[in-house]
Amino acid sequence: MSSRPPSHFARIALLLFLVLLAPVLKHLLEASMTTQMLVQIPLLVSVGLLLARAVPARWNAALANYDHAGINGLILATLIMALWMLPRALDASITAPPIAVTKYLSIPLLIGLPFALSWPRMSFIVRGVFLLELIATFFRMGWLYLIWPDRLCNNYLLGDQQRLGKYLIVIGTILLLWVAAKLLWGRMDSFAETPPSPPQLAADSGARHLDHGTPG
Amino acid sequence: MSATELYPANEVLPRNERIVFNLYVISVLVVLVLMMLFGLTMRMAQGTWINVPPDLFYQLMTAHGAGMVGTVGLASSAVMWFFLRKYVRLSLAIFATNYVLFVLGALAILASVFIGKYAGAWTFLYPLPVHAMNVWSPHAAALFMLGYLLIGVGFLLFYLDAMLAMIRVYGNLGRALGLQWLFGGNIDPAHPKTVVASAMVAITNSIGTLAGAVVLVMCLVNIYFPAFTLNALLVKNLTYLFGHMFINASIYMGVIAVYELLPRYSGRPYAISRPFLWSWAASLVMVLIVYPHHLMMDYAMPQWMVIMGQIISYCAGLPVFTVTVYGALTNIYRSGMRWPTPAKLLILSMFGWAAGIVPAIIDGTITVNKVMHNTQWVPGHFHFYLLLGVLPMVLALMFHVIGSRAQEPDRATDKLGFPLYLVGGLVFVFAFLAAGHDSVPRRFAVHLPQWLLTDQVGSIGAILVIAGMLLLATRIVTGLLKAPVHADPAHAAG
Amino acid sequence: MPILRTLLASLMLMVAGGFVLSAATDHFRAFTTETARRIEVHEHPVAVPDVLLETASGAHIDMAGFRGKWLLVDFIYTRCPTYCVALGGEFAQLQDRLATPLAQGRLQLLSISFDPENDTPTELAAYQQRFRNRGPGWLAARPVTAQGLGQLKRAFGITVIPDTFGGYIHNAAIHLVDPQGRLIEIVDMGNPDILAQDVVRSLDR
């Protein structure tokens, strides 16, 4: 756990957010589907992730009562992410200012923040299911973008869409390899506990063996 | 603890565990017999001994395929659970959840086949499920796929729990697999072979499930948004990666019973060795990349993948033969082994696996596959593996468990059931292989007169198998439902 | 109990999420802007703005002048190597299939350029000529002012973005406007026969 004070993270989050708001950068990142989905949106999520470190422990503890095993943070983040995966949402976020505002507020606060708060509470199995579905979604979305003959977004070119599809498949593959490597060779201290003693053996006397004849 | 103690105390099933385990075993046996009856119906229909309309034939074929593959997977996951829980702490709640999700998925599949009339085979090959020619609705196909998704989620949860449990004890899955001993070092002689096998299956079948999750959702999207067409070859690749992995996982989970139980019946410990570790590590990789042997007839496949399918098919036989089967044989050679039913089943399973590999490797040769793949040679090969390989492994555990409770040794029914099963199984399987050799096509509801002989011989074999299976299953079920205490007369308390 | 509270919260989240996603996709029917605008126009017809156009022959006409006739409108630019070529060919085919209502003056085919700077009347005439314009019934025109173009793009939901070859990419479709000047239907190009049948049916109603 970092020893920096919460305000440190809040400041970095705010700085990142303001940088992303800057018209020049915003325009640049929204110029192509690839950069909006793979750069701008992940950075906005990161704003939320950083903000989570600034949340006071008391509030987090209160939230935990409604967030057993981190399920609800995950559900909320997933639902809002599904919303921003809709092509028309991305389109509208460029052309309609109210939608743009919604994007800039909802992605950090309703995706990044709840996810980061819930992650420590999530059990191995919840994380495992989440990661598998995340990888599967990258593959499915990449596949979708590669094969869809028309442009899904009115504001972006077809070549852009195809390139994004390829990148999504690559990212999914990298994620898969990373998870596999972590499981095979990693150190997962957060799950370590003293090895459980298997049910203790009763006294060996009277233990049944098969009656074996002498060999040969 | 003696490695050859027949019923170690750490295998005793406490009350709740016993209930769930019994649920697994009894459900598996009931469904297996039902699926066998479906299969018998198909063989007799092909042999013109009964009259079955073709669309019902294909429904039965679909249900039989999905039902057998799923149920054998469920059964061998019970085998894995039974033994793995001695070494790591598994969650009973998750084990029960796997069962519940399986049942829900199975119900969805049965409903889609017998109510929705979905008959697109267990492989749901795109675009067949959506080109039903009005025999079934798109919703029936979607329900079928939803059934698979439910079963997949159940298994995923089971494997994640197993992975967590192994990571807690061994640090990571690489150490559970014993990878650190591949190139040297002193292998811990107490390192359980069960853990090695379980780690391998948890990893590989999770990847197979991932492939299934991707392809099933894409097919579902295609059903409801038909404008969204998929690349059929890509779908087929993913379908077979998922399906091949799932059915192989059941063999790799089932063989845990051999590693654990055989030494107890032979009286001779079955030590872990470096070749053992190597064969499981190699199989981990090979089982994932060998699936193109299902696609050798797809001439659009990249050449290198098909060749890899052949080469790896050949290589995959090596670990089986040189480690497991050879190891089993050397374990029992001149060991003064006695032969109660579990022991007979275990050795039968070794024969089934080893001998079953031969038609598989033959068909795994590209030049042969081109003429053999659509013949009954293929069902010959996989029924060999499953009927004479995996199923005996599972039955061996079941008999072993009831043996720990029974006061009396093998009954007459066992002495009859096993030979019936064995002889029937051999007749049944060799009828398929002979038919394949004669180029009888597979998956045909209506057969030409010249094919009827092998169909009828196969039907007789199937009848014998089912008779044997009924005897064995009845014995198991009554044995399981008996008094649960550890009925060893030498033990004071249960 | 945290578990019960959590489950309750999960239920509420999923219900709320369902509502939000349903609203965002017009009840799970429209995931793309294109589909959305088609559904929108079908359910809430849009009044076509009264914009002044200059035709291929140099004449001036405004959109209100088409009242009383059915309009099939497409948006093009004459240098377009892709969709507009298909659109042009399709309009020529529609001229054939819908010859009778066109001759009766009950229907008008209108191609509007969204690149008025380059698409002068000459260019527009040449564009029509490329598709062997059958004569009356098909007008190619460009908006006279930039505001007019903007109003048309907004009303018809046209998005134009530069492609990387110096041209434009745009969402191409055929738009049906009724005699009261309302956009009531947006149809995919590529099915001139079906479109012709639909138009004839609308005319007869």
In this prediction, residue A208 has a pLDDT band, given cuts at 50, 70 and 90, of: low
Q: Say how far apart CA C204 and CA B48 lie, in whole Å.
A: 60
| The residue count for chain C | 205
Helices (H) and strands (E) in chain A — how many of each?
11, 0
Go through the domains of chain B in sequence order and give each one's CATH number. Answer: 9-481 (1.20.210.10)
Instruction: Collect all residues of chain C within an 8 Å Cβ-Cβ radius of residue A152.
Output: 31-32
- C60, C101: one domain: yes
Interface size between A and C, measured as CB pairs under 8 A: 79
- Neighbour count for residue A204 (Cβ, 10 Å): 11
CB–CB contact A199 B12 (8 Å): yes
Average the pLDDT over B246-259 and give the result: 95
Residue-level pLDDT at B392: 97
Short-list B75, B9, B83, CA closest to B257: B83
Question: How far is Cα of residue C67 from the mean position of the Cα atoms in its chain?
Answer: 17
Instruction: Collect all residues of chain A within an 8 Å Cβ-Cβ radius of residue B209.
Output: 132
Instruction: Collect all residues of chain C within an 8 Å Cβ-Cβ radius of residue A30.
Output: none
pLDDT, tens digit (0-9, with 9 covering 90-100), for C146-202: 898 999 988 888 888 888 777 888 888 889 998 888 998 888 887 888 888 888 888
The amino acid at A86: L
CB proximity A66 to C under 8 Å? yes
Q: B412 versus B167: which is more confidently predicted?
A: B167
- C112, C62: one domain: yes
Instruction: Collect all residues of chain C within an 8 Å Cβ-Cβ radius of residue A68.
Output: 2-3, 5-6
Best residue in B95, B179, B203, B217 for a mutation probing chain A (most A CBs within 10 Å):
B217
In this prediction, residue B339 has a pLDDT band, given cuts at 50, 70 and 90, of: confident
What is chain B's mean pLDDT, rounded? 92
CB proximity A144 to C under 8 Å? no
Cis preceding linkage at B127, omega within 30: yes
Residue-level pLDDT at B404: 80
Short-list B201, B306, B288, B203, CA closest to B241: B288
In this prediction, residue A206 has a pLDDT band, given cuts at 50, 70 and 90, of: very low
- C130, C73: one domain: yes
By Cβ distance, the residue of A135, A187, A213 closest to B171 is A187
Give φ, ψ of A180 to 5 degrees.
Answer: -60, -45
Tokens 């995919």 found at: C188
Please, are residues B133 and B244 in contact by the beta-carbon 8 Å criterion?
no
Whether B241 shows a pLDDT value over 60: the answer reads: yes
Q: B118 versus A214: which is more confidently predicted?
A: B118
CB proximity A79 to C under 8 Å? yes
Residue-level pLDDT at A193: 53
- C120, C144: one domain: yes
- C76, C12: one domain: no
Whether B428 shows a pLDDT value over 50: the answer reads: yes
Token digits for B92?
A: 């009973």
By Cβ distance, the residue of A79, A152, A157 closest to C17 is A79
Residue-level pLDDT at C2: 79
Whether B487 shows a pLDDT value over 60: the answer reads: no
CA distances from B70 to B36, B56, B60, B66, B474 (A): 14, 21, 15, 6, 21
pLDDT, tens digit (0-9, with 9 covering 90-100), for B295-325: 999 989 999 999 999 999 999 888 877 788 8
Whether B419 shows a pLDDT value over 80: the answer reads: yes
**Which chain A residues in 68-127 lie under 8 Å from chain B, judged by CB atoms?**
124-125
Whether B61 shows a pLDDT value over 90: the answer reads: yes
- CATH of residue C113's domain is 3.40.30.10
- C152, C171: one domain: yes
Can you name the residues that pair with C52 across neighbouring β-strands?
Answer: C62
Token digits for C156?
A: 């018809």
Please, are residues B294 and B118 in contact by the beta-carbon 8 Å criterion?
no
Averaging pLDDT over each range in A161-165, B392-396, C119-123, C143-147, which range is the top one?
B392-396
CB proximity A128 to B under 8 Å? yes
Whether A179 shows a pLDDT value over 90: the answer reads: yes
Please, are residues C64 and C181 in contact by the beta-carbon 8 Å criterion?
yes
Q: Say how far apart CA C127 and CA C148 lie, in whole Å.
A: 22
- Domain total in chain C: 2
Average the pLDDT over B179-183 and give the result: 95
CA distances from B24 to A162, B17, B20, C98 (A): 47, 11, 6, 69
Q: Say how far apart CA B457 and CA B453 lie, in whole Å.
A: 6
Residue B83 distance to chain A (closest CA, Å): 12
Residue-level pLDDT at B227: 80
Residue A107 distance to chain B (closest CA, Å): 26
Ranking A8-22, B250-264, C188-202 by mean pLDDT, the lowest is C188-202
CB–CB contact A129 B156 (8 Å): yes
Instruction: Collect all residues of chain B within an 8 Å Cβ-Cβ radius of residue A186.
Output: 172
Whether B488 shows a pLDDT value over 70: the answer reads: no
The subunits that touch chain B, with at least 3 C-beta pairs less than 8 Å apart, are A
Q: Say how far apart CA B201 and CA B224 lie, in whole Å.
A: 34
Q: Say how far apart CA B347 and CA B335 lie, in whole Å.
A: 14
Separation of first and last alpha carbons in chain C: 64
Separation of first and last alpha carbons in chain A: 64
By Cβ distance, the residue of B88, B174, B218 closest to A185 is B174
- C169, C86: one domain: yes
Sign of CA dihedral A156, A160, A164, A165: positive
Tokens 């008025």 found at: C116
Whether A209 shows a pLDDT value over 60: the answer reads: no
Q: B67 versus A95: which is more confidently predicted?
A: B67
The amino acid at C123: E
Instruction: Collect all residues of chain A within an 8 Å Cβ-Cβ radius of residue C2.
Output: 64-66, 68
CB–CB contact A154 C33 (8 Å): yes
Best residue in B90, B169, B285 for a mutation probing chain A (most A CBs within 10 Å):
B169
* Exposed/middle/buried for residue B208 (C-beta within 10 Å: 0-12, 13-18, 19+): buried
Short-list C50, C99, C98, C92, CA closest to C74: C92
Instruction: Collect all residues of chain A within an 8 Å Cβ-Cβ radius of residue C161.
Output: 154-157
Ranking A180-194, B70-84, B241-255, B377-391 by mean pLDDT, the lowest is A180-194
Residue-level pLDDT at B490: 44
- C169, C76: one domain: yes
Residue-level pLDDT at B483: 62
By Cβ distance, the residue of A124, A180, A210 closest to B6 is A210
The subunits that touch chain C, with at least 3 C-beta pairs less than 8 Å apart, are A
pLDDT, tens digit (0-9, with 9 covering 90-100), for B214-232: 999 999 999 998 888 899 9
In tens digits, chain C (205 residues) has pLDDT values of 778 889 999 999 999 999 999 998 888 888 888 888 888 888 888 899 999 999 888 889 988 888 888 888 989 888 887 777 788 888 888 888 888 888 888 888 898 998 888 888 888 888 888 887 777 788 889 999 989 899 998 888 888 888 877 788 888 888 999 888 899 888 888 788 888 888 888 888 7
Please, are residues B318 and B301 in contact by the beta-carbon 8 Å criterion?
no
Contacts of B250 (CB under 8 A, 6+ apart): B69, B72, B73, B75, B76, B77, B390
- C78, C170: one domain: yes
Sign of CA dihedral C21, C27, C28, C33: negative
- Neighbour count for residue A174 (Cβ, 10 Å): 12
Best residue in A66, A94, A141 for a mutation probing chain C (most C CBs within 10 Å):
A66
By Cβ distance, the residue of C10, C25, C32 closest to A72 is C10
CB–CB contact A157 C3 (8 Å): no
- C123, C50: one domain: yes
Whether A161 shows a pLDDT value over 80: the answer reads: yes
CB–CB contact C33 A75 (8 Å): no
Instruction: Collect all residues of chain A within an 8 Å Cβ-Cβ radius of residue B334.
Output: 215-216
Average the pLDDT over B30-58 and give the result: 96
Ranking A26-30, B58-62, B78-82, B108-112 by mean pLDDT, the lowest is A26-30
Question: How far is Cα of residue B161 from the mean position of the Cα atoms in its chain?
Answer: 21
Instruction: Collect all residues of chain A within an 8 Å Cβ-Cβ radius of residue B213.
Output: 132-133, 136
Share of chain A above pLDDT 90, in %: 53
- Neighbour count for residue A50 (Cβ, 10 Å): 23
Instruction: Name the residue of chain A whose CA is nearest to C18's CA.
Output: A79
- C57, C122: one domain: yes
CB proximity A200 to C under 8 Å? no
Residue B282 gets which letter from DSSP?
A: H
Residue A160 distance to chain B (closest CA, Å): 19
The amino acid at B464: L
Ranking A56-70, A186-200, B358-372 by mean pLDDT, the lowest is A186-200
Provide residues of C within 8 Å CB-CB of chain A. 2-3, 5-6, 9-10, 13-14, 17, 20-21, 24-25, 30-36, 159, 161, 163-164, 169, 171
Element (H, E) at C108: strand C107-113
Best residue in A86, A190, A210 for a mutation probing chain B (most B CBs within 10 Å):
A210
Element (H, E) at B458: helix B452-481
Residue C82 distance to chain A (closest CA, Å): 13
Q: Say how far apart CA C133 and CA C194 lie, in whole Å.
A: 21
Instruction: Name the residue of chain A whose CA is nearest to C159's CA.
Output: A154
Residue A70 distance to chain C (closest CA, Å): 9
- C7, C105: one domain: no
Can you name the residues that pair with C143 across neighbouring β-strands?
Answer: C53
Short-list B316, B351, B323, CA closest to B429: B351
Ranking A59-63, B34-38, B176-180, B434-438 by mean pLDDT, the lowest is A59-63
- Neighbour count for residue A80 (Cβ, 10 Å): 21
Token digits for B318?
A: 């090596």
Residue-level pLDDT at B319: 84
Short-list C156, C149, C199, C144, CA closest to C181: C156
State which residues form the domain around C193: 39-204
Q: Strand C174-177 vs strand C182-187: parallel, antiparallel, or unpaired?
A: antiparallel
